């Protein structure tokens, strides 16, 4: 996407504002170049309806409205998508998972061309966890990376911090150092990732 204005969409998946994951994401964002546009959305402020899987029914997915339309529009407008979700039960938060579930519907809304338009954009992950072993977050990172792979998106990387109580991540010196270098580690507009996987089946 060389020559295209970079637009980072930060999707905050915590159930509360100002949590450790958000603090870590905002720290990382301070290192973005001045010309990069930032858009921050808290998923709790834009709740989505439960996702209905009607792929095999006679119904068709309709053009989204309300909060779903907002999130779709903002997602498509971003060159870089930053999923900032705390680690809940070894995966993303419920609000984040619901947002990803709606991708399945967006793939099938006539005229949206979600897969084609997301291909080549980049996904990043930010998460705070209360376990000092970063391997605990592997299911979250794998889920997001494979979701990016499925749409042909590039993978920017995962930024992890340790926290037990509100504000703890600001005392994690290693996480703060990583945050300061996070977006600089991969030059903006580079780092193609071509992996693709089959779409997950619904239960």
Task: Give the sign of the dihedral formed by CA 30, CA 187, CA 4, CA 70.
Answer: negative
Q: What is the pLDDT of residue 118?
A: 98
Q: What is the pLDDT of residue 131?
A: 87
Q: Domain 7-182, what fold?
A: Rossmann fold (3.40.50)
**Residue-wise pLDDT tens digits, 119-168:** 999 999 999 999 888 899 999 999 999 999 999 999 999 999 999 999 99
| CA 118 vs CA 31, 142, 174, 180: distances in Å | 24, 19, 32, 27
Tell me the average pLDDT of the chain. Answer: 88
């Amino acid at each position: 996407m060389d020559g295209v204005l970079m637009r980072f969409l930060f999707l905050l998946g915590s159930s509360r504002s100002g949590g450790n994951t958000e603090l870590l994401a905002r720290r990382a964002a301070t290192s973005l170049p001045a010309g990069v546009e930032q858009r921050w959305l808290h998923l709790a402020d834009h709740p989505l309806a439960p996702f209905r899987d009607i792929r095999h029914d006679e119904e068709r997915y309709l053009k989204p409205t309300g909060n779903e339309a907002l999130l779709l529009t903002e997602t498509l407008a971003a060159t870089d998508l930053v999923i900032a979700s705390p680690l809940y039960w070894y995966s993303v938060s419920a609000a984040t998972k619901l947002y990803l579930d709606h991708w399945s519907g967006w793939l099938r809304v006539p005229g949206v061309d979600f897969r084609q338009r997301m291909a080549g954009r980049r996904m990043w992950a930010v998460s705070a966890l209360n376990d000092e072993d970063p391997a605990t977050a592997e299911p979250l990172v794998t889920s997001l990376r494979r979701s990016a792979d499925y749409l042909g998106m590039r993978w920017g990387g995962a930024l992890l911090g340790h926290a037990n109580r509100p504000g703890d991540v600001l005392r994690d010196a290693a996480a703060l150092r990583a945050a300061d270098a996070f977006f600089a580690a991969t030059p903006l507009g580079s780092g193609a990732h071509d992996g693709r996987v089959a779409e997950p089946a619904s239960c």
